[in-house]
Structure 1
């Protein structure tokens, strides 16, 4: 996100650099002219339309699933993505998630007894997020988490 002129505020948009085929760029410009939209608005419109038409299975539309997964909070977003669409995790996200999954501490397990069976303790995860990220980073060359 971009930082605004006021300290501590962030923009609601992010800047993305992409390379596209010249013919596609031309088409986007034409669509923008016809719709009286900026290039950015046309690209957002096209992506939103594509998400509305993309099905993950017979019943689940990608746009609806993105709405369920999205959070401005990085931790919530990772947990939501891992639980709802694990096939979309990047390698680095998968390493973090696998570390979380094998850590009884994050699942409310104490001395072999599960206090919250199959329920992630998100507040505990949040309290230990930086240490978790350091652990994953320190072990990134290891074949196991």
Structure 2
């Protein structure tokens, strides 16, 4: 028996499952894809209860970040980066907080009220909760 490795179209990233993760204090349980895009484009800045949204992401070249962008947001990582750069350089907004690895991403989401990011499903626990994307 040989080893089977699933890869994305065109031999891109290995197929990974990814879920949207939030701090357990966030009352939202479901987000429309366009709402999620607005959050990750840094256009939506607060949850419905007024809590500031804190966005955490992995580096652009991280396989989980690429999977999240393509499968969940339906954009390419470079498109998202262009939006963040435009916000920063124009002075109209900011970029999300970038962390180095999944462990740190989980820790930041868990520790910061209003936090949102993305994780492999197996990282969802009592410290972070998943949000359904419709």
**Shorter-chain TM-score: which interval?**
under 0.3
Q: With structure 2 as the length reference, what TM-score do the two structures score?
A: 0.24
**Which structure: greater strand fraction?**
2
The structure whose residues are more often helix, as a share, is 1
Higher relative contact order (CA 8 A, sep 6+): 2
* Bigger Rg, structure 1 or 2: 1
